[in-house]
């Protein structure tokens, strides 16, 4: 391998997301390149100073990675000549049996890992799904947690099987009735560790392997993964300006589950029309189907009041309502909830106790206090105004720089915008190019289950400070202009 190729490979693969130190990443990337014989025995590595400058790392970071590989025998050094891949390791690896892709994984495991095609855990511009964290009332939250931890009765530290602290279930019930027009009682609330777990539980209890599940296309990748893990056959149903369109579903694909984000479809941002909602409810009743309503970022509308839930329209009990606190508060708060029809509450609670374990009741009590004392509603109001400003700034900056060449999604809501690209612009390639500039662009094409109908970018703005929004949007425009 040539020195330039090694440097380019490392520049492309190093992630500056804070999840793993850059030194650890450098060590692992070089080790795997040697083990896979991308770097063959005798190949000269770049000088530590050269590599440090090219990767914008401290020289000590590079030296530490080299030293570890030297100690493990992957590299050897020659006085005055440099550092080289060990010929001994290359000879040994040449006699190893060839590594098969996905070795050891089941067919289901291969399908699930194949979905891991989009980066996760990224922060900064324009990582989607991240709320503003600096302006969260951390001191208030910490105080409530400390109080509840000190007052916690002894049984809170044992395994729990109630489906959530009763205080929190009451607080969630009151909030949903008032703000989302959800028809529920506290007994119907099941507290879980995030919306993803809620989807997994609902899919496991309401369907059998091989059943059909209608999915919005494009749609939420996390839901696609959860339902596929349950063994469901995912049926992509196109999304138009009114939301998921049942008339466009494949003939004969009677769904057992229908997953929708009607209040603010992810990622397109459209709101499902009342007529379409009523059609779906009727279809679920006729086909004995279950609707899973994921109320994704429904709190954040900037021109009108939040749209009422589909669950509140249902005359029958065919809707499972799913929500989470991580998008409103902070992602590390792994607390979400389901609203379950009365006939299923005992079954869901028993299954949850069997499959999973409930989280901390002290934390749940702190969240109940956070809601009941008005902190939650105040935080939503503040973030609603802040996100409105940030959306307008991102929209104005990109429209001023690119004009109508890159249309942006309409609507005054949510935590992201979708930029729609001309057909000849590869959004996957653009996202990889932008990552070198520390711009985290999620390609729209990756959200389709079938052949993508539209290339584009999902641009999160909620957790990005205004100055960075402007700077990053202008840099994105510079990257895009030569491609248009």
What is the mean predicted confidence (pLDDT) over 92-112?
59
Task: Tell which phi-psi region holds residue 293, choosing left (phi > 0), alpha (psi between -120 and 50) or beta.
Answer: beta
Beta pairing partners, 441:
none
Tell whether the model's pLDDT for residue 95 goes beyond 70.
no
pLDDT digits (tens, 9 = 90+) for 249-291: 998 889 999 999 999 999 999 999 999 999 999 999 999 999 9
The helix/strand/coil state of 239 is: strand
Alpha-carbon distance 299 to 328, whole Å?
8
* Beta-carbon contacts of residue 169 (< 8 Å; ≥ 6 apart): 163, 186, 187, 189, 191
The domain locations on the chain are 3-99, 115-132+378-483, 152-374
Burial of 429-467, coded b for 16+ CB within 10 Å and e otherwise, reads ebbeebbeeebbbbbbbbbbbeebeebbbbbbbbbbeee
Question: Has domain 3-99 been given CATH number 1.10.10.10?
Answer: yes
| CA within 13 Å, CB half, 342 | 5
Q: How far is CA 355 from CA 54, 153, 205, 350, 361, in A?
A: 48, 25, 11, 9, 18
Q: Please tell me the total number of residues recorded for the chain in this structure.
A: 484
H or E segment to which residue 35 belongs: helix 22-35
H or E segment to which residue 294 belongs: strand 290-294
At 122 the pLDDT is 61
At 99 the pLDDT is 47
H or E segment to which residue 214 belongs: strand 212-217
Q: How far is CA 112 from CA 225, 226, 307, in A?
A: 7, 9, 33
Find out whether 35 and 139 touch, Cβ atoms under 8 Å: no
* Beta-carbon contacts of residue 196 (< 8 Å; ≥ 6 apart): 222, 226, 336
Pick 330 or 33 by higher pLDDT. Answer: 330
For residue 115, the tally of other CB atoms under 10 A from its CB is 14
What is the mean predicted confidence (pLDDT) over 192-204?
94
Alpha-carbon distance 97 to 470, whole Å?
52
Beta pairing partners, 417:
459
CATH number of this structure's domain 115-132+378-483, picked from the four choices 3.90.1150.10, 3.20.20.60, 3.40.50.970, 1.10.760.10? 3.90.1150.10
pLDDT digits (tens, 9 = 90+) for 209-250: 999 999 999 999 999 999 998 999 999 999 999 999 999 999
At 23 the pLDDT is 86
pLDDT digits (tens, 9 = 90+) for 415-443: 999 999 999 999 999 998 898 888 989 99
Tell whether the model's pLDDT for residue 103 goes beyond 80.
no
Place 119 in a pLDDT band, splitting at 50, 70 and 90. low
CATH class for the region spanning 152-374: alpha beta
Place 133 in a pLDDT band, splitting at 50, 70 and 90. very high
Alpha-carbon distance 270 to 228, whole Å?
25
Tell whether the model's pLDDT for residue 183 goes beyond 90.
yes
- φ/ψ of 89, rounded to 5, equals -65, -40
């Amino acid at each position: 391998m040539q020195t330039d190729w090694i440097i380019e490979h490392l520049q492309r693969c190093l992630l500056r997301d804070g999840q793993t130190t850059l030194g650890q990443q450098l060590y692992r990337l070089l080790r795997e390149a040697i083990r896979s014989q991308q770097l063959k025995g005798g190949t000269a590595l770049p000088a530590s100073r050269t590599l440090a400058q090219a990767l914008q790392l401290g020289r000590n970071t590079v030296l530490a990675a080299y030293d570890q590989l030297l100690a493990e025998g992957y590299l050897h050094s020659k006085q005055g000549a440099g550092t080289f891949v060990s010929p001994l390791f290359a000879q040994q690896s040449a006699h190893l049996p060839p590594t098969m892709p996905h070795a050891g994984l089941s067919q289901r495991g291969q399908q699930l890992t194949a979905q891991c095609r989009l980066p996760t855990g990224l922060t900064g511009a324009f990582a989607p799904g991240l709320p503003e964290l600096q302006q969260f009332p951390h001191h208030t939250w910490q105080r409530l947690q400390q109080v509840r931890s000190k007052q916690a009765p002894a049984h809170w530290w044992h395994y729990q099987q109630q489906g959530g602290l009763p205080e929190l279930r009451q607080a969630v019930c009151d909030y949903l009735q008032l703000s989302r027009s959800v028809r529920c009682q506290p007994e119907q609330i099941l507290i879980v560790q995030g919306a993803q777990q809620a989807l997994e539980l609902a899919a496991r209890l309401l369907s059998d392997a091989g059943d059909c599940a209608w999915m919005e296309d494009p749609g939420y990748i996390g839901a696609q993964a959860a339902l596929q893990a349950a063994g469901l056959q995912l049926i992509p149903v196109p999304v138009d300006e009114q939301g998921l369109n049942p008339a466009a579903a494949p003939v004969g694909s009677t769904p057992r589950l229908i997953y929708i984000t009607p209040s603010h479809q992810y990622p397109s941002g459209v709101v499902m029309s009342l007529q379409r909602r009523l059609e779906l409810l009727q279809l679920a009743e006729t086909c004995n189907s279950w609707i899973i309503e994921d109320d994704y970022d429904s709190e954040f509308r900037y021109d009108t009041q939040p749209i009422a839930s589909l669950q509140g329209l249902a005359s029958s009990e065919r809707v499972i309502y799913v929500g989470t606190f991580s998008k409103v508060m902070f992602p590390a708060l792994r607390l979400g909830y389901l609203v379950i029809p009365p006939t299923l509450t005992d079954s869901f609670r028993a299954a949850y106790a069997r499959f999973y374990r409930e989280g901390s009741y002290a934390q749940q009590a702190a969240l109940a206090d956070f809601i009941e004392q008005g902190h939650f509603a105040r935080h939503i109001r503040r973030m609603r105004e802040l996100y409105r400003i940030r959306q307008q700034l991102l929209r104005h900056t990109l429209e001023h720089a690119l004009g109508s060449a890159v249309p942006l999604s309409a609507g005054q809501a949510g935590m992201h915008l979708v930029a729609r690209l001309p057909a000849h612009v590869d959004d996957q390639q653009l996202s990889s190019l932008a990552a070198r500039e520390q711009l985290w662009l999620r390609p729209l094409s990756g959200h389709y289950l079938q052949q993508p109908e539209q290339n584009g970018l999902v641009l999160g703005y909620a957790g990005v400070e205004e100055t960075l929004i402007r700077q990053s949007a202008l840099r994105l425009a510079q990257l895009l202009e030569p491609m248009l």
